[in-house]
Amino acid sequence: MKLAVIGAGSTYTPELVSHLSQLGVDELALQDVDAERLEVVGTLAERMLQRAGFVGSVMRTGDHDAAIDGASFVLFQIRVGGQGARLQDETIPLRCGCVGQETTGAGGFAKAMRTLPVVLELAERVAERAAPGAWIVDFTNPVGIVTRALLDAGHRAVGLCNVAITFQRLIARLLGVEPERVSVDQVGLNHLTWIRAVHIGGRDVLPELLAAHADELAEDIELPRSVLDDLGVLPSYYLHYFYAHDRVVAEQRDGIPRAQTVAEIERELLRMYRDPALTEKPALLEQRGGAFYSEAAVGLVRSLSTGDGTVHVVDTRNAGTLSGLADDDVVEVPARITEDGPSPLPQAPLTPELLGLVQHVAAYERLTVAAATTRDHVAARKALLAHPLIGQTAFVDELVDSLVAEAVR
Measured from the Cβ of residue 134, the count of other Cβ atoms closer than 10 Å reads 19
First CA to last CA distance, the chain: 41
Please give the Cα distance from 251 to 240 (Å, whole number): 12
The answer to whether residues 77 and 12 touch, using CB atoms and an 8 Å cutoff, is yes
Please give the Cα distance from 156 to 286 (Å, whole number): 31
Please give the Cα distance from 236 to 230 (Å, whole number): 15
What phi and psi values does residue 330 have, to the nearest 5 degrees? -100, 120
Please give the Cα distance from 13 to 10 (Å, whole number): 6
Measured from the Cβ of residue 57, the count of other Cβ atoms closer than 10 Å reads 11
CA R_g for the chain: 20
State the pairing for strand pair 234-235/192-200: antiparallel
State the pairing for strand pair 203-204/192-200: antiparallel
Task: Give the ranges where 27-162 is alpha helix by DSSP (H).
Answer: 35-51, 64-68, 82-91, 105-129, 143-152
The answer to whether residues 333 and 358 touch, using CB atoms and an 8 Å cutoff, is no
SS3 label, residue 158 = strand
SS3 label, residue 333 = strand
Please give the Cα distance from 187 to 179 (Å, whole number): 19
The answer to whether residues 236 and 243 touch, using CB atoms and an 8 Å cutoff, is no
Q: What is the DSSP string of 254-318?
A: HS--HHHHHHHHHHHHHHHHT-TT--S--GGGGGGS-TTHHHHHHHHHHHHHH----EEEEEEE-
Active site residue 238: yes
Angle at 230 between CA 224 and CA 236, to 5 degrees: 60
User: Which residue of the set 12, 238, 273, 364 is catalytic?
Assistant: 238
Q: Which residues are catalytic?
A: 238
